[in-house]
Structure 1
């Protein structure tokens, strides 16, 4: 069915076939929902174990939101063939350039890559495939890759899509309708970078909770962490302000109150974030899982470096981001362990 749809650029329903490039937490969860909705989906992943399990047993989604399995078409990148009209890129930020170069030969000249990733990866993708073939996206649902063929879908969250130049188009409207098959409350926006900057600010608390060895909820509510939490968010929002970007709100996060140092508003936003994350069975951040469970490199540097460079261009200091990167690299290299001592080395920056 996949090859037949490839020839005509549509599946049996007339819809565009979808390639999921990176079939872990984000890509696997979205792709499985599309398969269940009847869409023609091809999963691509570098993990041979994951691909083989998807081929033999299908892809299993489990958790409080949904529990189901679906039969899947799955390949490793070296097995890929053909030309495809729509590729949802869902790899970690630090794999963006390599993955985009891998997928480039398989993207149709009139096709599009949608960055369903954490981080502002659209500029990197644009440099490789051309900006006219890139669609921006923002995702904030909670999911984890558990093992080959199995993904935890721990909680619903914002899903937003938009052209990177803010225009409306037929293709982005069609992609929006496709994403609604996964998240019915998905948003079509003319300001995707507003959402990406908002996620970048919120994402700092996910990264710092990891080196503190704290759950997301404990980090949000813990007074020990508060000065770092607020300082990190401020660094990102100040850079956004210098870029004349107004970060968008989502899932309880209200960037404006943090930027204004509105104590009452910040308390309300943090409580909303606590309540939102408390509903999820994903208790810790993906960065924490990479550092503690999977013992592998994180995408912290890849996500924060673009923001640091923008800040530097505007003469804005980012001491907390700078130190966080050093500490994460130390943990990745085995020179430190996550926990109170490592977090204190970050907190010292605020003293």
Structure 2
């Protein structure tokens, strides 16, 4: 029986996340096939290979890359690395290529594991939490700007052979990657931190500079607190990482703990060559839709179901859409506008 532990690795989505992880695995000798729907990116990888740039390492290597419609065969190990709002379409497209006994690991932001599970069966999904800094720069070029937490876990908390094998594989990319029996705790922790990143993206300032702004500390804190309040109402205990302390932002969290967490997040982001979030890059550089509905939408929906109000999150979602539509510029004044929702 196929255990889902062997064979080539299919990286579906070769942007910042998939491109970085896949490049390291390919360099280590793994058989990797990259899939991406950007024809120029695929063409560049086919002709000149894939280049990783930045302060961590710089290297380039020849890789195999195809468009989604060109994928052939079935794979036991598939890493889904597309933007959250493209998850459903990607999961449906890759389904015919998932081998019996194989799995899909969601290397994304948000709660996409459950969207993937609707398409292929939740038992065939492995959860992943990632917080390293990377950006797609141009066809065939990825910036790997800073290391960050990498955590893997089965959605039911079990410790399985396939999870151990995936962990050994990911160590070739991130030596400090860990396994957990509470991947949902990490994913909800990332939702809180992700809400902060969306708030930083409404300005042209860097992540660290916005998080350090005393004038807007109240609304930033409220943004994270809404996500943590919803998690608490669901009976979840979000996990911390890279300076983000969920307990500080949880209901009844201490103001000193909040300040300490904000300071640690500022320090963490100052160490990265990736100064702005991928959200900001989608808005300011690539001028395309963001993951706002897929990432922050569940906070609002689950909050409504649990009787937890989320006015700042709702206002932030609307504000991001206004920026996407060209109806609102990127400006510090947006943070003051967001504060009006308090």
The TM-score bracket by the shorter chain reads: over 0.9
User: Which residue of the partner structure matches residue 236 of structure 1?
Assistant: 227
Aligned counterparts of 1:232 and 1:339: Cα–Cα separation in 2: 18
Q: CA RMSD in A?
A: 1.4
Aligned counterparts of 1:211 and 1:99: Cα–Cα separation in 2: 28
Aligned counterparts of 1:348 and 1:183: Cα–Cα separation in 2: 41
Question: Which 10-residue stretch deviates more, 14-23 or 300-309?
Answer: 14-23
**C-alpha displacement of 1:16:** 3.5
* Partner SS state of residue 86, structure 1: strand
2:77 is matched with which residue: 72, 81, 86?
86
**C-alpha displacement of 1:15:** 4.5
Aligned counterparts of 1:325 and 1:263: Cα–Cα separation in 2: 26
In structure 2, runs of 5+ residues without a counterpart are: none
2:214 aligned with 1:223, yes or no? yes
User: Which residue of the partner structure matches residue 54 of structure 1?
Assistant: 45
CA contact (8 A) 2:10 2:35 kept: yes
1:172 is matched with which residue: 163, 176, 186?
163
User: Which residue of the partner structure matches residue 327 of structure 2?
Assistant: 335
User: Which residue of the partner structure matches residue 310 of structure 2?
Assistant: 318
Superposition pairs of residues 251-266 of structure 1, within 5 angstroms:
251-259=242-250, 260-266=252-258
2:128 aligned with 1:146, yes or no? no
CA contact (8 A) 2:103 2:125 kept: yes
CA contact (8 A) 1:20 1:88 kept: yes
User: Which residue of the partner structure matches residue 190 of structure 1?
Assistant: 181
* Partner SS state of residue 283, structure 1: coil
1:293 is matched with which residue: 285, 290, 305?
285
* Partner SS state of residue 342, structure 1: helix
CA contact (8 A) 1:9 1:16 kept: no
2:128 aligned with 1:123, yes or no? no
Per-residue CA distance 1:276-312 (angstroms, 9 max, x = gap): 1111111111111100111111011111112211111
CA contact (8 A) 1:22 1:45 kept: yes
Aligned counterparts of 2:313 and 2:256: Cα–Cα separation in 1: 25
Aligned counterparts of 2:273 and 2:305: Cα–Cα separation in 1: 40
**C-alpha displacement of 1:249:** 1.1
CA contact (8 A) 1:9 1:17 kept: no
* Partner SS state of residue 82, structure 1: coil
Aligned counterparts of 2:28 and 2:3: Cα–Cα separation in 1: 18
CA contact (8 A) 1:205 1:219 kept: no
* Partner SS state of residue 313, structure 1: helix
**C-alpha displacement of 1:9:** 9.2
Task: Give the structure-1-normalised TM-score.
Answer: 0.94
CA contact (8 A) 2:216 2:336 kept: no
The list of structure 1 runs, each at least 4 consecutive aligned residues, that deviate by more than 4 angstroms after superposition, is none
Aligned counterparts of 1:199 and 1:157: Cα–Cα separation in 2: 12
In structure 1, runs of 5+ residues without a counterpart are: 1-7
**C-alpha displacement of 1:99:** 0.6
Aligned length: 340
